[in-house]
Chain A
Amino acid sequence: MPHDASVSIRPPVLSPRMRRVLISVVLAAVCAVWIYPLLWMVSASLKDNAAIFANEGLIPERPSFENYVRAWKEANIGSYFFNTVFVTVGSVILVTIASSMMGYVLGRRRFVGRGLIFALIAFTIFVPQGYTIIPVFDLLTRMGLGQSLWGVMLATCGGSFVIFVLLFAGYFSQIPNELEEAAKMDGVSFIKTFWFVMLPLARPIVVTVVVMQTLYAWNDFLLPLVVTLANPSIRTLSVGVYAFRGENFIDWGGMTAASTISILPVVILFLFLQRYFIDGLAGAVKG
C-alpha cells in the first residue's frame, strides 16, 4: 500500500464496554448452571428431610444445623475425617516426592528406552480407573495391606501419578543445563542438586501437584469404597457419606451435611493456593 493511501475507519457495532458487559452476562449464566448442584447440596443440608423435596427454593425457610450434628455424631464423620486426612497427607507426600524424582530423570537425562518409558506412561492415562481396581485390591491383599489405612493411602497414590510425572518432566526439561553444570563444577552431588537447586525451582509444579493430589485423594470414592468394603472403620469421608443411604430410607439431610463438611477443607485449600495452582498449570502449558 502506498504511504499516502487513506484508510477508512469503520466504527464497531458494539463498543468495547458493551462487549465486555455482554460477555460477562453470558459467562455468569453459565457459572450459575455450573454451581447449582453445589448450592443445592448446601441448601439441602440446612433443611429437614421433609423440606428438601417440598420445592421451597434454595433459601431454606427454617434453616437448622441439626443435620450437621447428626452427621458428625451418629455417622462417625469425625473418625472418617481423620482417615481422610491420613490418606490425603500421606499420599500427597509420597506422590510429590516420587513423581518429582521420576519427572526429573525423565525430563533431564537422555538414556536408552526413555522414549518407550514415556510412551508407556502416557498410555496408562487412557486406562479407566474402574479396570484397575480389582488388580490393585488384589495387590494390596497380597502385600497384607488389604485391611489397613496404609493400604488405602498407598492405593490412592496411583490416581494421577503419571500426569504429575509428565508435568514435572516437562518443567525440568526447560531448566537450562548451565544450572546443573554449575552445581557439577561446585562438586554438588546429583541428589543434592535435585533437592537444593531443581526442586525449589519447580515450586509452581510442586504446588500444582499438591493441590491436585489433595483434591483427588480427598474426593476419591470408587477406590476407597472397594478397599474398605469389609472394614468400615477405615472408611474415608466420601465413602462414609455414602453410608447415609439405608436400605429403605435415604437420609438426604445427613448426607448433604456430611458432604458439605467433607468438601469444606479442599475449598479452603484451593482458595489459599489458587494463585500458585494456576501459575503452575499455565507454566506447564506454556512450557
Chain B
Amino acid sequence: MTGVSLKDIKKSYGGLEVVHGVDIEIDKGEFVVFVGPSGCGKSTLLRMIAGLEEITGGDLKIHGQRVNDVDPSNRGVAMVFQTYALYPHMTVDQNMGFGLRMNGTPKAEVAKRVSEAAKILQIEELLDRKPKQLSGGQRQRVAIGRAIVRHPQVFLFDEPLSNLDAELRVATRLELAKLHQKLAGSTMIYVTHDQVEAMTLADKIVVLRKGRVEQIGEPMELYENPANLFVAGFIGSPKMNFLDLEGGEGLTFRFKDASTVALSGDAAAQTAVLGLRADQMTLSEPDEGHFAGTVSVVERLGDSEFVYVTTEWGQELVVRVPGGTNTQMGVLTGVVLSGRTHFFDGEGRSFPVFRSLWTKADINRG
C-alpha cells in the first residue's frame, strides 16, 4: 500500500525553480532516505511533505488522499528537526505533550501517550528536566518523543543526527533503526547528506541532485548498480575512482598516460569512464599493473588500509588493501584493475555491462 506519493512535485521561489518535478512512491511502513549534497532540494522536499513549504506544482498524496493544501497538523505527519526545536522553557513532559494539550486532548490521554513515548525512548527519568539540562542525544530523543505522542502515520526526520558528535551519531543511528522496528507500520522519511546514514538506515534511498531525482533504489542496488557517475560517486565510502578513457583504435582505449586497455561487449565502444571502488583494484609491482603511480598517503584503519596513489597523469586514486600490509609512502607501485568495474558513457550514464575480472591479456603497457 502506498504511504506517501509524490507526483511531478515542483517548487519555485519567485521565478527560480529549485525542485523540478519529482516522482517518488513510498510504501507504508517503509524507511526512505533522501540523500544528496547541500542545495539538492532534499530538505525542501521534506518540508513540502510536512506542509511547512507550499507546493508549487504536482500532487502530494498521503495514504491516497491529496494533501497539497491541508494544514501540517492534519496530514498525519510529525517532524523531528535538525536543531530539535524543543521549547526551552518547558520540561520534557510539557514539551512532548504541548501539541496535544493545545488541541484539547484530555489530560489523562496526554499523560498516557507521553509516558508511552518516554518508555519507548527510555527517557522516563528525564521527564521533569528542561531541555538545557539534557545532552544532545537526550534532546534528540525528546524531539522524537514529541513526534511519537502524536501517533503519526508518517515520521519526517530532517538531518536529525548532524548536531551530534561522531560517537553519539553512530549510537543514535542504531537507535533509530530499532525505533523503526518498534513502531512497525509507520512510514519514515529521513533527510541526510551523509551517505553512510542513508546506506545503514534505509529500506529505499532516493538520491537527489539539483532538484532532480538521480536514482531510487535499495541501498545495495545503488551501490552495485549506480545509474550514473553522480550516484556512483556519492554512494559508498571511500568514493569510487573514475578513470577517464581516451579513444583508441577499435575497442582498445588509452588511459591518460600511454597505458592501454582493451574492452569487449556490445556497448564497449561508447565507454568513456571506468569506475572502480577502492576494493576493486589491487597494488602490484610497478611494471606489472595496468598503469603505475606513486603512493602519496596511507590511511591505516586497522582492519584495512586506504592507499592513495597518484598516477603518472596526476590523478589521485584510493586503493583498499588488507590491514597490516604496511605500504610505504613515496614508493612507486603498479595498479591492477580487478574485480567488478563500472562503465559510463560520455554523458555519465552507466552501462549494465561490467567486467568482473580483468585478465593479464587486457593489459598492454605502452
Point out the residues of chain A lying under 8 angstroms from B146, CB to CB: 182, 186
Partner of A187, one of B83, B85, B99: B99
CA distance A187 to B50 in the complex (A): 12
* CB < 8 Å neighbour of B103 from A178, A184, A187: A187
Residue of B nearest to A181 (CB): B52
Interface centre among A176, A178, A189, A200 (most CB of B within 10 A): A178
Does A184 contact B72, Cβ atoms closer than 8 Å? yes
Q: Is there contact, CB below 8 Å, between A187 and B102?
A: yes
Q: Closest A residue to B95 by CB, please name it.
A: A182
B74, B88, B102 pick with most chain A CB within 10 angstroms: B102
Is A275 on the interface with B (CB-CB < 8 A)?
no
Q: B residues within 8 A CB of A184?
A: 51-52, 72-73
CA distance A99 to B79 in the complex (A): 32
A111 on the B face (CB < 8 A): no
Q: Any chain A CB within 8 A of the CB of B191? A: no
The answer to whether residues A186 and B50 also contact, given A176-B83, A178-B81, A178-B83 and a CB cut-off of 8 A, is no
Q: Are A185 and B77 in contact (CB under 8 A)?
A: yes
Are A188's CB and B102's CB within 8 A? yes
**B221 on interface, CB distance cutoff 8 Å:** no
Which residues from chain A contact B89 at a C-beta distance below 8 Å? 200-201, 203
Q: In the complex, A184→B85 CA distance in Å?
A: 12
* A203 closest partner in B (C-beta): B89
Q: CB within 8 Å of A: which of B51-90? A: 51-52, 71-74, 77-79, 81-85, 87-89
* B351 proximal to A (CB < 8 A): no
Decide if B150 is an interface residue (CB 8 Å cutoff).
yes
A226 contacts the other chain (Cβ, under 8 Å)?
no
Report whether B73 and A192 are in contact in the complex, using a CB–CB cutoff of 8 Å: no
Contact with A along B82-125 (1 / 0, CB 8 A): 11110111000000001110110000000000000000000000
A201-242 interface mask toward B, CB cutoff 8 Å, 1 = contact, 0 = none?
Answer: 101000000000000000000000000000000000000000
A189 to B99, CA, bound (A): 10
Q: Which residues of A contact B100 (CB under 8 A)?
A: 186
Residues of B within 8 A of A189 (CB): 102
Closest Cβ of chain A: how far from B211's Cβ, in Å?
A: 22
A179 contacts the other chain (CB 8 A)? yes
B85 touches A182 (CB 8 A): yes
Q: Which residues of A contact B87 (CB under 8 A)?
A: 179, 182, 197, 201
- Indicate if A196 sits at the interface (CB-CB under 8 A): yes
- Determine the residue in chain A with the shortest Cβ distance to B71: A187
On whether A188 and B81 interact (CB within 8 A), knowing A179-B87, A181-B52, A201-B88, the answer reads no
Q: Which residues of B contact A181 (CB under 8 A)?
A: 52, 79, 81, 85
Whole-angstrom distance between the Cβ of B188 and the nearest chain A Cβ: 15
Chain A's closest residue to B89 (CB) is: A200
Closest-CB distance, A200 to chain B (whole angstroms): 5
Q: What residues of B have a CB within 8 angstroms of the CB of A192 in the complex?
A: 102
Are B98 and A179 closer than 8 Å at their CB atoms? no
Please judge, given known A-B contacts A185-B50, A186-B150, whether A179 and B85 are in contact too, CB under 8 Å: yes
Using CB atoms, name the residue of chain A closest to B74.
Answer: A187
* Chain A residues whose CB sits within 8 angstroms of the CB of B98 once the complex forms: 183, 186, 188, 196
Q: Nearest Cβ in chain B — how far from A156, in angstroms? A: 30
CB distance from B24 to the nearest CB of A (A): 21
Are the C-beta atoms of A185 and B78 separated by less than 8 Å? yes
CB nearest neighbor in A for B84: A178
Cα(A181)–Cα(B52), bound, Å: 7
B136-183: which residues lie under 8 A (CB-CB) from chain A?
A: 146, 150
Closest CB in chain A relative to B54 CB, distance in Å: 13
The reply to whether B99 and A188 form a contact with Cβ atoms under 8 Å apart is yes
Chain A residues in 8 Å Cβ range of B72: 184-185, 187
Which of A181, A185, A196 has the most chain B CB atoms inside 10 A of its CB? A185
CB distance from A207 to the nearest CB of B (A): 14
Shortest distance in angstroms between B87's beta carbon and chain A's nearest beta carbon? 6
Residues of A with C-beta under 8 A to B88 = 201
Per the bound structure, the CA–CA distance linking A276 and B74 in Å amounts to 40
CB <8 Å contact, B99 and A176: no
A105–chain B nearest beta-carbon distance, Å: 19
Report A-chain residues with C-beta under 8 Å of the C-beta of B102. Answer: 186-189, 192, 196
Enumerate chain B residues within 8 angstroms of A186, measured Cβ to Cβ. 73, 98-100, 102-103, 146, 150
Instruction: Enumerate chain B residues within 8 angstroms of A182, measured Cβ to Cβ.
Output: 79, 81, 85, 87, 146
Could you tell me the distance between the alpha carbons of A260 and B149 in the complex, rounded to whole angstroms?
Answer: 57
Q: Offer 28 A-B interface pairs, CB within 8 angstroms, sorted by A.
A: A176-B83, A178-B81, A179-B85, A179-B87, A181-B79, A181-B81, A182-B81, A182-B85, A182-B146, A183-B98, A184-B51, A185-B50, A185-B73, A185-B78, A186-B73, A186-B100, A186-B102, A186-B146, A186-B150, A187-B71, A187-B74, A187-B103, A188-B73, A188-B103, A196-B98, A196-B102, A201-B88, A203-B89
Interface residues of B (CB under 8 A from A): 50-52, 71-74, 77-79, 81-85, 87-89, 98-100, 102-103, 146, 150
Which residues of A approach B to under 8 Å, CB–CB?
A: 176, 178-179, 181-189, 192, 196-197, 200-201, 203
Q: Top 7 A-B pairs ranked by shortest CB distance?
A: A186-B99, A187-B73, A178-B85, A182-B85, A188-B102, A200-B89, A178-B81
